[in-house]
Structure 1
Amino acid sequence: MNFLNSMAFVAITFVAFTALVAIISWWKTRGDNLDTQDGYYLAGRGLTGAIIAGSLLMTNLSAEQLVGMNGQSVRIGMSPMGWEVTSAIALVILAFVLMPQYLKTGLTTVPQFFEERYDAGTRRLVSLIVLLSYVVIMLPNILYAGAQVFVNIFDLDALLGISEFSAIALVCVLTAIVGSIYAIFGGLKAIALSDSINGLGLIVGGLLVPIFGLIALGQIHGGGFMEGLDALINTDKTLLNAIDAPTLNEPYLPWPLLFTGLLINNLYYWATNQSIIQRTFGAKNLKEAQKGAVFAGFLKIMTPLIIVVPGIIARLMYTNVGDWGSGDNAYPMLVADVMPKPLLGFFAAVMFGAILSSFNSVLNSASTIYALDIHRPTFNPTASDSHMVKIGQNFGTVVAIFATILSPFMLYMGGITTFVNSAFAAFNTPIFVCLICGFFWKKVPSIAAKVVIPVHVVLYFFLQFFLRNQISWLENVHYLYFTAVLFVFDMLLMYVIVKVKPRPTDYVLEDAKAVDLTPWKHGKFWATVTLGIMVLAYIVFSPLGIGA
């Protein structure tokens, strides 16, 4: 029994599960042709709904959410669940509005559409913006958040006798090395398969945290799991209310934003972000893509049990903590205290898998965008597919090194989730506006995107970082309100551009005949069920349910 509680057993189970995922992924993809564009970047257009859903979830759900969102919930309660639960709306829109358009064009990357619909300059502009966000924001934060979990759970800085910064840097380097092997040498199919396996592990391991947390909370109140559940529900009902007042600032999520700024943010992330929808581009047909998107929406409604509730449990358990600061230490602290040692290695492995899946997915997408949207059209238009795969691999190596160097410095950026979300808000809205108008507004001219995108970015930074510091009543306005207002502005600007200089001929979306476009027969029924469950979740966590 002592061996089961030892660090040696933790290390063995961690390595064993991590190796098992790698071996299964290698075995399933060992005969795949990775020398072609579709084979390497789109998994040969053969992904099924279950694989797509698992990969969508795992690409999104990483230590960044586990640490950052539990860090928010330990401070303010249940309202951060809105980031997760309302994602179902965006995923349903992706499945039935945008996915038929995407697959009809046979795209490999989103920027490809911007060249087809607008022009080559727009494609390069969008590609550079997305690449910059991946390299400077997403990849370093994925590595940092994962490293912080491991450092706090295993107390690595004390164990190794080094500073917290050095311990985080060490874990970032190790994570980047393993993740780069998947992304650079395995292609999308290896990533998607490992995501699905790790996804099952994360669901099991992630649910163990609130279960053991409630047991520990119950023991404080002289009982067990049921007493802990009673304490969670009845100690402070305000923590279980997900409906925030309209005037609150971040990290709160005012309820009007659920259908305005947050919806726009989610539509960009789930329906336009290359690192997310690349796996839907790899679907074997429209039916499987729609299944994957809808099932992912259902799973997102369930994820607050893993990435929000543990933060509230930590708030109720650690009553001696006066100021949680950013809150980013709450989740690692809870895991270290409540997770039984024999299970700690397995949990560490699925956590590591979550970090890897997000890191290698974003890295693979960055390589895809550079190779196909920047390098080929700019430097070598006649390059073969095998050459472009090599270019993507080389670029991925450089990006991985740069992001790894940058990642430990995220320690000084404050709350992870707030930093990432506010940074993305600068450019996600105009890209989504240009995409949606490009698909469904036939008269939008090529100049529109090159006007809307830079104007939006300038206005956002002006509002967020200058004007709000000059006008007192703007100081505490949530940045997603700026997103909502600027979305309306972008649409009006697009309307003016169309009226002043309409496209000479209507845009026609050509069918590339890449995959079968027969829709999922029962898709709309299951989408309705999913959205109904989303509404029910908000009823439960409101004054109508168990909140106050």
Structure 2
Amino acid sequence: MNTIALLTFLALTICVALLSWIKTRKEQLHTLSGLFFANRKLGFVAVGCGLLFANINTALFVGENELTYINNMSVMAWGVTSVLAMLVVSEFIIPVYLKMGISTTPEFLALRYDNSTKTIVSIIFLLNYIINLLPSVLYSGAVAFNGLFHFSEHYQIGYWTTIWLLVWVMGIIGGLYSLLGGLKAIAVSDVLLGIGMFTGGLLLPFFALKHLGDGSLQAGLAKVLSSHTDHFNSMGRSGDAIPFGTIFTGMALINLYYWGTEQYIVQQVLGSRSLADCQKGIALACVGKLLLPLLINIPGIIAVHLYSGLSNTVEVFPRLVADVSSPVYSGFMAALMFGAAITTFNAGLNSSATLFTLNIYKPLAIKRKWDVNERDYLRAAKRFEMLICLVAICIAPFMMFAKGGLYTYLQKIGGLFSVPIFTILVVGLLTTRVPPLAAKVGLFFFVVCYACTQLVFDVQVHFLHVLAILFVMTTLIMLLIGKWKPVPVPFRLAGNSMVDIKPWKNRHFYTFLLVLMAVFLFVLFSPLGLAR
């Protein structure tokens, strides 16, 4: 274990925490709006960095580099195509949320369908966070830090024990950070991390290529461009974890769900001070997503030339960082990954408490006429955060047994919770007479059928294609129920905006540029470009 790297990591992490505390110590956190939405005062830089770092975590660093190492650049599609999804969401879905003044995405479903639909969807969200999101962030963070600092080797303790210890440390720190700082502290940390990533973080390929070329950047680049060039191919092969055709089916649906429905993502934009700031922030996050292959894919390609036959491929990224960079830079990258993991974990905790408090606990208290006030709701929210934090800590180490690569496993399990919710949201947005019964039947049909295809029957169809097929089938079932039992009064959007909803006037020009950049990346990493 390198002492200089560890001290650099600790110094940078403490500085970020200290600056976040200084910026938020006067923030009003004794209200639900202050704790969950930063009092709806976030500017576009905070929104953009918040979106990016709610999305970026160690699971992304570790998982995508692992898949690039095993397969090729086809895994890049998750991030690059998400830009298109983000732009669609920015134009068509977020304006609806801000106009209606909602606090959670299930709240829209309550207005469109009924309260029981909201409760069901809130429970599905919470299950996804508790089983999938929060444990994966802690586990991948533990793997990354053990790979960087070699705790298990230095202290002569087993790998399994080391992962447990690191998961507990990260979970406790993340839980305290979320409880004490709320969304505002998370947003401040995200801005600082964004500055770090867009400066020093993107230098990792430079150091890796110099290491590969024995000190010469040109020699390292020549090696990467002259051999194993099939790893540059973003079009992929049929046997890859992410076949190219899935971009147009289940991947598109998951990305649209993620950026337009996922509570811990949407909550970042619901805290914005205006629709224009929100749309600018989404555009800024898109720029970050287009730069991210330098951190989450290219290192995996360089690792192909450095390591062969790794027994534990999940350690590709942390091992590369530790081997190719100076101790100071290793400490810097450790701080960046730790911050990314903690902010995603915090965002998940904060959103889970939001869902529980506003969609489950508060309606129950009103229905049963409990004598509760704002302070009682805050207390319930913080207790719930502590509870799910402990549950996630206990589940996280068992992510070690995921098969087929950590990132693919997470997406496959996430599909069980995500696309069913997105399906009923889309039908709710595009129709006015489909009844609540259709939403409940649609959720049940989708979840049961998808679970059967992944856990019971071997259908020999990629899970992303299965999601797309079930999306179409569920939509048709909901429309048929709408024809059979339409609601007597058609749904109408009601305005209750808490912020200015005037859109950003230059958004279409920047949308064109961002789409052009996304297409360019696919051409660059294809048989027409570097994969020749």
Q: Same fold (TM over 0.5)?
A: yes
The residue number in structure 2 matching 1:23 is 18
Q: Per-residue CA shift, 1:256-306, capped at 9, x if unaligned?
A: 211221100101111110011101011101001111112212211111110
Q: Which residue matches 1:3?
A: none
Partner residue in 2 for 1:37: 32
Alignment CA distance shift 1:280-1:526 (3 Å):
same
Paired residue secondary structure (2:303): helix
Tell me the CA shift for residue 228 of structure 1.
1.1
Instruction: After superposition, give the CA deviation of every residue in 1:176-215 in whole Å (9 maximum; x if it has no partner).
Output: 1111122112111111111121222234343232111111
Residue 38 of structure 2 is aligned to residue 46 of structure 1: no
Q: Secondary structure at the match of 2:496?
A: coil
Q: What residue is the counterpart of 2:225 in the other structure? A: 233
1:199/1:354 contact within 8 Å kept: no
Secondary structure of residue in 2 paired with 1:544: coil
Give runs of aligned pairs for residues 155-234 of structure 1, distance below 5 A: 155-219=150-214, 224-234=216-226
Distance 1:199 1:268, change over 3 A: same
- Residue aligning to 1:259: 248
Matched, 1:315 2:301: no
Q: Say whether residues 1:532 and 2:524 are aligned partners.
A: no
Contact 2:6 2:149 in 1 (8 A): no
Cα separation, 1, equivalents of 2:240 and 2:476: 27
Aligned to 1:345, which of 324, 327, 331? Answer: 331
Query: How far apart, CA to CA, are the structure 1 residues paired with 2:375 and 2:508?
Result: 40
2:11 counterpart of 1:11: no
Greater Cα shift, 22-31 or 68-77:
22-31
From 89, 102, 105, give the equivalent of 2:100: 105
**Counterpart residue number, 2:456:** 466
2:235 paired residue number: 243
Please show how residues 70-469 of structure 1 align to structure 2 within 5 Å: 70-219=65-214, 224-245=216-237, 248-251=238-241, 253-318=242-307, 321-322=308-309, 324=310, 327-380=313-366, 383-414=372-403, 415-468=405-458
- The amino acid of 2:494's aligned partner reads E
- Name the counterpart of 1:55: 50
Q: In structure 2, list runs of 5 or more residues that go unmatched.
A: none
Instruction: Kindly report structure 1 stretches of 4+ aligned residues shifted beyond 6 Å.
Output: none
| Matched pairs, number | 528
How far, CA to CA, are the matches of 2:417 and 2:340 in structure 1? 26
Partners of 2:326 and 2:6 lie apart in 1 by 14
Q: Structure 1 CA distance, aligned partners of 2:497 and 2:264?
A: 23
Q: Deviations over 1:44-76 (max 9, x none)?
A: 111111111111111111110111110000011
Unaligned runs of 5+ in 1: 1-5, 469-473
Give the drift of 1:10: 2.5
Does the 8 Å CA contact 2:95/2:275 hold for their aligned counterparts? yes
User: Could you tell me how far 1:325 is from its partner in structure 2?
Assistant: 5.5
TM value normalised by structure 1: 0.94
SS in 1 for 2:108: helix
Contact 2:4 2:331 in 1 (8 A): yes
Give the distance between the partners of 1:94 and 1:389, measured in 2 at CA. Answer: 30
Contact 1:291 1:520 in 2 (8 A): yes
**RMSD over equivalenced CA pairs, Å:** 1.5
CA–CA distance in structure 2, aligned partners of residues 165 and 339 of structure 1: 27
Q: Which residue of 2 aligns with 1:471?
A: none
CA distance, structure 1, for counterparts of residue 446 and residue 264 of structure 2: 23
Contact 1:202 1:351 in 2 (8 A): no
Q: SS of the counterpart of 1:333?
A: helix
The answer as to 2:474 corresponding to 1:482 is: no
The one-letter code sitting in structure 2 at the alignment partner of 1:229 is L
* Cα distance in 1 between the residues matched to 2:376 and 2:486: 39
The answer (yes or no) to whether the contact 1:241–1:543 under 8 Å persists in 2 is yes
Tell me how far apart the structure 2 counterparts of residues 513 and 479 of structure 1 sit (CA, whole Å).
38
Cα-to-partner distance string for 1:483-533 (whole Å, 9 max, x where unaligned): 111111122112111111112111011110311110001011101110110
Contact 2:280/2:507 (CA < 8 Å) preserved in 1?
A: yes
Give 1:326 deviation, angstroms.
Answer: 6.3
Contact residue 101 and residue 439 of structure 1 kept, 8 A: no
Q: Which amino acid in the other structure matches residue 168 of structure 1? A: I
